[in-house]
Amino acid sequence: MEHMAMAVIFFFFIILYLLCRLSLSCWVFPFLTHRRLKKNGLTGPSPSFPLGNLSEMKKKTNTGSSSCTNSISHDIYSTLFPHFARWRNSHGKVFVYWLGTEPFLYIADPVLVKKLSTQVSAKNWGKPTVFKRDRAPMFGNGLIMSDCLKAMVSLMVETTRTMLDTWTTQLRNSDTREIDVEKSIRETAGEIIAKASFGISYQSDHHVFEKFRALQISLFQTKRLLGVPFGKFLYLKQALEASRLGKEINQLDQQGSFRKALTTQQLVDECKTFFFSGHETSALSIIWTMLLLATNPEWQNELREEIREVVGDNKELHFNMLAGLKKMGWVMNEVFRLYPSGPNAQRQAKDDIRVSEDLTIPRGTNLWIDIVGMHHDSELWGEDVHEFKPERFKDDINGGCKHKMGFLPFGFGGRMCIGRNLSFLEYKIVLTLILSRFSFTMSPTYCHCPSTLLTMRPSYGLPLVFQPLD
């Protein structure tokens, strides 16, 4: 009997302890953070418990299933992020919103981004825990980089030529001259990064890529409740599916898809980070460029002319030639500006961070730096902000932006993208080879509906009509 009473008391204290922890993490800490943010003048749309501002965010976010239009406008911000556009109207370029019980400081103000990057040491910023946990099946804990770019030129040329040969065969065998280039450019970029970094190939290891894609869709297309206490359990099926796919990718290591040297979990995580961070962003920058060149044929001609001048009759492309492709560099930057394939950068304050006399960001606050928002801000770029004008980058690496932190296609500070040189190289090689062999226009079947699934992509592919150049 005595033992029974002891067990009941023990059980009672365990429950009490769990309830205390729960109320601390779900109510008390978020409430205190809310108060501290408010004291610093940081307010925003009113959150509700336990969803925060999620219900408003989920209302009309463009995840691809919504509006599709044949007319191509680059004024995409309010369709992509209607909630941010609304909140910006009422709260300005810096405000607080809540994903469940997780506070996010939204920033589309380059002056504040500069302060965060210059006045605060990079080691004070981490990655948001809420995303790290949620995306663990995708990225694991990886981050490394190799840098033998010159050696990659021939690999990139060879892989791109294979894609173009396939296009040529496809055109020969079809009456329409139409190809949806989205998938093949994505596969080619995947092939390049896979071969360059890990010695695996898309052809023989396409199951790896397919699983990555399935995982990405499972994590980003569902209406999950990120940041909401126990939100995972309400969408258990999706969470289990993501975890299963993540584990299956890890298993591929043991089946020999990754090279012998990459045997530990940590190295498999590096591969995951690379695939996600690298191949899709690079592919999308080329895909959006194809769209912008198809709708601006005068720029196709300009670039073809430049390629003729720089590459001449050379049968082979060399690393040193690529620096001469200046106009291609302007076009690339203008595409990064209008359609940044990495649409935002995220941080989390590891400690209370004093940014200036009147601003302290409380520990645990997440930052959401809105890259698309800044790239589409007419106050920073002028009234022609939504027009495709590569010449704005002619004499200015910031494209005439009023603040140099207003143009951040690769992020900023200590966590800036480490793959940017690799992507410049890939961009110039793939585009040079495409433009040398084909001219192209938009297909009437194209639907303009950019959407975000971690990266920014065309929701319904990119069908183009091709003309081979002989």
User: Interface with ligand HEM by CB under 6 A: which range of 39-47, 259-267, 278-286, 298-306?
Assistant: 278-286
Site string for ligand HEM, 129-148 (x = CB under 6 A): --------------x-----
Among 15, 151, 240, 416, binds ligand HEM (CB under 6 A): 416
What is the size of the binding site for ligand HEM (CB under 6 A)? Answer: 23
Within 10 angstroms of residue 55's Cβ, the number of other Cβ atoms is: 10
Residues 342-361 that bind ligand HEM (CB under 6 A): 342, 345
Residues 174-203 that bind ligand HEM (CB under 6 A): 193
Class of residue 390 by CB neighbours under 10 A (exposed 0-12, middle 13-18, buried 19+):
buried
Q: Is 423 in the site for ligand HEM (CB under 6 A)?
A: yes
Is-contact 87 44, C-beta < 8 A?
A: yes
Question: Please, where are the H alpha helices in 221-355?
Answer: 231-234, 236-254, 265-274, 280-295, 297-311, 319-322, 326-338
Torsion of CA 335, 337, 342, 345, to 10 degrees: 170
Is-contact 171 149, C-beta < 8 A?
A: no
CB of 149 to ligand HEM, least distance (A): 11
Among 293, 361, 374, 422, binds ligand HEM (CB under 6 A): 422
- The token pair that represents 458 in the structure block: 């065309």
User: Interface with ligand HEM by CB under 6 A: which range of 215-223, 237-245, 414-422, 443-451?
Assistant: 414-422
Among 273, 289, 333, 451, binds ligand HEM (CB under 6 A): 273
Residues 283-342 that bind ligand HEM (CB under 6 A): 285, 341-342
Which of 54, 41, 111, 121 is closest to 374 using CA atoms?
111
Among 84, 412, 438, 446, binds ligand HEM (CB under 6 A): 412
Residue 417 annotated in ligand binding: yes
Among 218, 277, 333, 443, binds ligand HEM (CB under 6 A): 277
Whole-angstrom distance, CA of residue 278 vs CA of residue 193: 7
Comparison of 224 and 272: residue with beta carbon closer to ligand HEM: 272
Q: Is 417 in the site for ligand HEM (CB under 6 A)?
A: yes
- The token pair that represents 263 in the structure block: 């045997």
CB of 43 to ligand HEM, least distance (A): 25
Whole-angstrom distance, CA of residue 206 vs CA of residue 190: 9
Q: Is 282 in the site for ligand HEM (CB under 6 A)?
A: yes
**CA-to-CA separations, 209 to 62, 205, 247, 289, in angstroms, rounded:** 25, 7, 14, 23
Class of residue 156 by CB neighbours under 10 A (exposed 0-12, middle 13-18, buried 19+):
buried
Q: Which residues are near ligand HEM by CB under 6 A? A: 143, 193, 273-274, 277-278, 281-282, 285, 341-342, 345, 409-412, 415-419, 422-423
Binding site residue list: 417
